[in-house]
Every structure is written in C-alpha cells, then in structure tokens.
Amino acid sequence: MEDLFGGAAPYYARYRPAYGDAAIDHLAEAFGADSRVLDLGCGPGTIAIPLANRVRAVLAVDPAEEMLAEGRRLAEGVPAITWLRGDSATLRALPPFDHVVMGRSFHWMDRGAVLAELDELLPPGGAVALLGPAAQPGEPWQPDAQPWQAVERRVCADFGLDMDAAATCFHATGQPHRAVLAASPFRRLESRTFRRRLVWDVDGLVGLQLSYSYSSPAALGDRLGAFVAAFRAALLAADPAGRWEQDLVTEVLIARRTER
C-alpha cells in the first residue's frame, strides 16, 4: 500500500494532539489489563504508546514505514509494543490479538470487509474500538469546527489541495462509522466523549497542517515553502494575535458483538 502521509510523520508525531489520559484510561479499562491489543493504522503510536503501559501488549500496525519509524523513536524505553508494517488487508498474517483499536484510521479501509474479518479473528468478548473526533451535527466524519477552518479552506483551495480527499473511503459509501458497525457483528455500541481545550499558535497550526495527508510535504512537493508562507500569512491576517483556542471532543466508540 502506498504511503498516504508522505513526509508528514514527523509533523504528525509532534503536532497532532494526544487523545489525553482520560480517553486512554477508558479504553484500557474496556479492554482489560491482561489483553493483547491490535492498534490498526497506528501512525506514530498516538494510541499504542500510552496504551502499552496499561495493557499486556500492543501490536502497532501501519502501512507507512515513516509513521512506524516515528513510533519506534517515540516509544524508546516503552516495553510491550511490537511495530509491524501491514494494513487492513493483512490482518490474517498478524500474531493473535484480543481487541482492536483504530484511531482516525477506519475511514481509510474497506470497513465492512475489515469487520467481517475481525469477526473471524477476534476471540469471544473481543471488542473493536474507534477513536477520533466526535461527530458534530451536520459533520458526519470530522467536526472541522476549528476557528481557523475558513483560512485553511481558502489557502488549500488556492493550492488546489482537496481537503476532503482523506475521507474518500468514507464518502464512497456515505455511511458514518456507526452505520457500518450497526450492520456488522459488532453492533453493540458504547460511546463516551472526552472534551479538552487546546491553545494553538501559528507554528503549531502550520505543523498540524503539514501532518494531514492532503497537505503533507509529499502532496505539496516543491510548493511546500510557498504553502507554509501563504498559510502563515493568512492565519496572521485573520488573527494578528496568533492565538487560537480549540474545543477538542474525542469520542471513544467501543463496539462489541451481540450475545450469541
């Protein structure tokens, strides 16, 4: 599988906000301390690294070697994580696991096929957990409620970047994750949300922007410098104080099989 996040991994590791201890604690509690967890689409270990201290073992799997390299670097000294190159089409090649978590990665996959395969691979009681931004009214996949959204949209449009490209798999069916789960064996859903307030400066927002697949360094190529300059200027024109607050709401959606 090609690397969808070319050159973005260091920005991802540095600038994407963590999910926060409360969300990871909740996830670990749902899985149980003695469990072996597959983190599918692990990126640089956003979930795998904090989770590894709370469960028996984490199998961190991603198709992007750059992401795995960042993860291995950040996880130095954290035991109980195995980093493997793979993806949603290579689940059968993995060592056994008890539960699966996917953080902002399920939308890249053939979701129905993945759930059908997980139904064969997961033991009884095995759960599938999705972590990501909680959907807001009218925004089925990503809230995009950030105060700098309008600036981002304008500058991305100027550079011909398709902000919605990341959601192609999602939009191909038009079905939110919940609907896909409801039609799968993992239809017993339990949702909790965790709210945090973040404060961003210009450097943080530029770094965050370069962590997205649609505006990664590889997507921008030799226009990277021009894009950064344009985005930085547009942000400061919109808010000369250079300070943005974001209400980040993370949903932990745990899906289990109905009793058989």
Contacts with ligand SAM by CB under 6 A lie at 4-5, 16, 40-43, 46-47, 62-64, 67, 87-88, 103-105, 108-109, 131
CB of 131 to ligand SAM, least distance (A): 6
CB of 60 to ligand SAM, least distance (A): 9
CB of 62 to ligand SAM, least distance (A): 5
CB of 235 to ligand SAM, least distance (A): 22
**Residues 237, 18, 254, 81: is their CA dihedral positive or negative?**
positive
Judging by DSSP bridges, how do beta strands 57-62 and 81-85 pair with one another? Answer: parallel
**10 vs 43, which CB is nearer to ligand SAM?**
43
- How far is 33 from 102, CA to CA, in rounded Å? 18
CB of 90 to ligand SAM, least distance (A): 8
**Which of 69, 17, 88, 76 lies closest to 52 in space, CA to CA?**
76
**35 vs 105, which CB is nearer to ligand SAM?**
105
**87 vs 119, which CB is nearer to ligand SAM?**
87
**62 vs 98, which CB is nearer to ligand SAM?**
62
Give the CA diameter of the chain: 59
- How far is 148 from 244, CA to CA, in rounded Å? 7
**110 vs 238, which CB is nearer to ligand SAM?**
110
Q: In the numeric block, which tokens belong to residue 259?
A: 């009793």
> Helix crossing, 202-210 with 224-238: angle to 10°?
140
Number of H helices, E strands in the chain: 11, 7
